[in-house]
C-alpha cells in the first residue's frame, strides 16, 4: 500500500540558519493516491516573533502562538505520523531545510531518517510546464483546482490544495493503474458469459483524422512527461517501428 503525505509549513521567516522557526505544519494523507481524511494540523510556538514579511504572508500573529506547544512537544506526534511515508512538498528544499534544523536542535537526526522519500511538486511542475509560473496559485488555476478560499497562506489549506494539484498533475498514473480485485471479478464474468459468433458482425473501419492523431500524441507526451520518461509505450516504440 502506497502511503504519501502532502506537507506544508509556515515559518517566522526565510532562513532556518539565521534562527527562523516553524510555526505551523499541515499534512494530508494519501493512500494509493486517495485522500483518507486522516490529516494532521499543528500550530507551534517558535520562541521568537515572525518577521513583518512573513506575517503578511501567513497572517498568524505572534500573540496567537504564545500558548502553543514548542516543537519539542510535538516532534514525536509529527514523526510518528510521517514515519515511512513519501512526502510531497511544493519547493521541498525550503520545508525540509526547516524541518531538518528543528530535528537537529533536538538531536533527532534528519527527515531522511524518518520518511521513505520526498517528491518536490515544484520541480515536477517545472518539468511539466516549462517557462510558466508554477506557484501553487498558478497551478490551481491551470489545473482547475478551486483555491477561492485562499486569501492567506495556511499550512493545512495549502497542503489540501497541493494534494488536489498533485493528483491532477499525475493523473496519468491513475488512468494506467488497475484495480486487481475489480479485474478479477470482470474476468470471472467474461469467462462465464456465452460465446459470441463474431463472424456475424460487420465491422466498419474507423478513420482517424490528423487533428485526432495530433491530440492523441499530445496526450501521450503529457503522460510520458508526468512519469519522467517511464511510460511503457515509449520504450517499445523502436521495436514497433522495426516491425512495421
From the candidates 153, 188, 216, 236, which is the catalytic residue?
Answer: 153
Query: Which residue from 19, 22, 15 is spatially nearest to 41, judged by alpha carbons?
Result: 22
The CA dihedral of 71, 72, 74, 75, to the nearest 10 degrees, is 100
Q: Is 153 a catalytic residue?
A: yes
Which residues are marked as active site?
Answer: 153
Amino acid at each position: 500500500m502506497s502511503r504519501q503525505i502532502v506537507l506544508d509549513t509556515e515559518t517566522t521567516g526565510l532562513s532556518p540558519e539565521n534562527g527562523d522557526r516553524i510555526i505551523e505544519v499541515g499534512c494530508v494523507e494519501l493512500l494509493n493516491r486517495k485522500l483518507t481524511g486522516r490529516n494532521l494540523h499543528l500550530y507551534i510556538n517558535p520562541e521568537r516573533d515572525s518577521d513583518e514579511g512573513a506575517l503578511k504572508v501567513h497572517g498568524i500573529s505572534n500573540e496567537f502562538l504564545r500558548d502553543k506547544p514548542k516543537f519539542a512537544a510535538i516532534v514525536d506526534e509529527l514523526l510518528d505520523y510521517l514515519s515511512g511515508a513519501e512526502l510531497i512538498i511544493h519547493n521541498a528544499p525550503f520545508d525540509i531545510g526547516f524541518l531538518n534544523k528543528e530535528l537537529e536542535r533536538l538531536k533527532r537526526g534528519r527527515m531522511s531518517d524518518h520518511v521513505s522519500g520526498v517528491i518536490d511538486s515544484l520541480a515536477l511542475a517545472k518539468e511539466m510546464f516549462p517557462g510558466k509560473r508554477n506557484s501553487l496559485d498558478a497551478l490551481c488555476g491551470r489545473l482547475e483546482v478551486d483555491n477561492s478560499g485562499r486569501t492567506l497562506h495556511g499550512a493545512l489549506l495549502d497542503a489540501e490544495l497541493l494534494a488536489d494539484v498533485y493528483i491532477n498533475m499525475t493523473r496519468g498514473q491513475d488512468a494506467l493503474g488497475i484495480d486487481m480485485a475489480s479485474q478479477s471479478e470482470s474476468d470471472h464474468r467474461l469467462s462465464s458469459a456465452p460465446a459470441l459468433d463474431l463472424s456475424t458482425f460487420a465491422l466498419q473501419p474507423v478513420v482517424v483524422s490528423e487533428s485526432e492523431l495530433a491530440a492523441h500524441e499530445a496526450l501521450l507526451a503529457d503522460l510520458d512527461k508526468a512519469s519522467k520518461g517511464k511510460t511503457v509505450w515509449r520504450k517499445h516504440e523502436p521495436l514497433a517501428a522495426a516491425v512495421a
